[in-house]
Structure 1
Amino acid sequence: MRYAIVVTGPAYGTQNATSAWMFAKALLEAKHSIDSIFFYQDAVSNANSLTSPASDEHDLVKEWVKLSKENKIELNICVSAALRRGMVDSEHACEGMYNVHSSFNFSGLGSLAKAMLTCDRTVQF
């Protein structure tokens, strides 16, 4: 089956994003495919390249990037939610300063709607 995953929880502070990451890994191990992972609301913090967890903590941003690269999965973050929360990519940067990891793409709710229409299942965390 083809899946779209929607994450609404931040990288740290709730279990939503970690549960989504674990679910995505389980789907791939079961030979399903993931077309898109969409980060919405506070979940845009999962794309923050400046996140620096302690050495004994799980680096969720790094894990999303690894999952994306190894499996060719798009990591989309809602542009409106990101800009509202101070998340800026290189295109929107002032004075060359940005904090969105290059593996994440700014996109709108239209890309989420498209994923939901073209996938067999959409799961939200």
Structure 2
Amino acid sequence: MAVFALNITGAPYSTLAPLSALRFARAALAAGHSIQRIFFYQEGVLLANQLACPPQDELNLTRAWQELANEHQLELVVCVAAALKRGVLDEKEAKRHGLDQHNLASGFSLAGLGQLIDSFSQADRTLTFCS
């Protein structure tokens, strides 16, 4: 069985990247493969915004990733530089930048590109889902 690392760079709801990655992850896990880490980069970091409210008749991608990660103990890592640039902050970064609010969805964590590079070295295959 293979070990995958996923890199998602496409924005939720304006590209199919996060949905395609979610479908791939579900299929890979169902087939007995494992996922070492899921890394959200560039516009993909917007998936970690807990304030996004898609219409009720659309899939809530943030919630779907949270559920998959919880069910399979997956790591959802968000590039800190890309997230800050797009207004996605955890409590620590909000305080560091003098802001009163934070909006990183639960189950996601901020980290640097080193986590992505680490994924490359630990996985058999790395797949990038982009716009």
- Superposition TM-score, scaled by structure 1 size: 0.97
Residue 48, structure 1, aligned to residue 49, structure 2: yes
Using the alignment, how far apart are the partners of 1:72 and 1:35 within structure 2?
A: 10
Task: Provide the aligned length of Structure 1 versus Structure 2.
Answer: 124
Using the alignment, how far apart are the partners of 2:8 and 2:47 within structure 1?
A: 9
The Cα shift of 1:75 comes to 0.1
Q: Which runs of 4+ in 1 moved over 3 A?
A: none
- Which amino acid in structure 2 is aligned with residue 21 of structure 1? L
- Which amino acid in structure 2 is aligned with residue 104 of structure 1? F
- Which amino acid in structure 1 is aligned with residue 23 of structure 2? M
Residue 17, structure 1, aligned to residue 18, structure 2: yes
Q: Percent of aligned pairs with the same residue?
A: 43
Q: 1:114 aligns with which of 110, 118, 131?
A: 118
SS in 1 for 2:93: coil
The Cα shift of 1:102 comes to 2.0
SS in 2 for 1:112: helix
* Root-mean-square deviation (Å): 0.6
Q: 1:100 aligns with which of 97, 104, 123?
A: 104
Using the alignment, how far apart are the partners of 1:92 and 1:109 within structure 2?
A: 16
The Cα shift of 1:92 comes to 1.3
- Report the counterpart of residue 7 of structure 1 in structure 2: 8
List alignment gaps of at least 5 residues for structure 1: none
List alignment gaps of at least 5 residues for structure 2: none
Alpha-carbon deviations, 1:51-92, whole Å to 9, x = none? 111111110000000010000000000000000111111111
SS in 2 for 1:36: strand
